[in-house]
Amino acid sequence: MVDISKAAFISSYGDYRKCPAHEEAEFAFIGRSNVGKSSLINMLAGVKDLAKTSSTPGKTQTINHFKFPAGWYLVDLPGYGYAKSSKTEREKWDKMVRGYLENRKELTCVVVLVDARLEPQRSDLEFINQLGESGVPFVIAFTKADKLTKTQLPKNIAEYKKRLAEWWEELPRMFITSSTERTGRDELMSFFAEHS
């Protein structure tokens, strides 16, 4: 197993065109505000405060690069679906993130984070379908799985698959994660290694 405890924060960028050029794979993390992006990145990295966590939605407002010694980057993108953000802020977010997703040649795959506790959210479904329409490769990572019972979790996942099947003939790959219990870490790390 590769030692990833020395994962490092590289820098933050407000414009995808300023992101560093390199030969390694990039895996971008995105999801609704407060879905647990930073906590999951920290769990994967094995570094408690590598990505700054906050109880305040919309904390991440830049494109944040983290370098892993295994030879790839994780990219923390600003969350979407935060109702209290202004129209101007939402437009700025849309331009920055869409520019990254559609033009970043280093981008290997997007990891869409979805709160496992919730029924399928319109903002998640719309974003996933937009990725499909744009031809951007992605997988889904369900977060906060530890907050559900062993019977409720598969029910929620099944409901999500049912909704996605309304648009998708082939469903994307899915991961079950919990930052507190470190669930899904090995599976995600193996996926990154396979696609680097």
What sign for the dihedral angle of Cα 60, 65, 68, 73?
positive
DSSP state of 15: S
Please check whether residue 112 is in contact with residue 131, taking contact to mean a CB–CB distance below 8 angstroms.
yes
Q: What ranges do the domains of the chain cover?
A: 8-194
Angle, alpha carbons 152-43-50 (nearest 5°)? 140
pLDDT of residue 188: 97
**142, β-bridge pairs:** 114, 176
Q: List, for residues 48-63, the tens digit of each pLDDT value.
A: 778 776 544 445 678 9
pLDDT of residue 61: 76
Tokens representing residue 164 in the block:
């996605």
Mean pLDDT over all residues of the chain? Answer: 88
Q: List, for residues 122-170, the tens digit of each pLDDT value.
A: 999 999 999 999 999 999 999 999 999 999 999 999 999 999 999 999 9
For the domain made up of 8-194, give the CATH fold. Rossmann fold (3.40.50)
What are the DSSP calls for 82-131, one per residue?
Answer: -TTS-HHHHHHHHHHHHHHHHH-TTEEEEEEEEETTSPPPHHHHHHHHHH
pLDDT of residue 49: 79
pLDDT of residue 95: 86
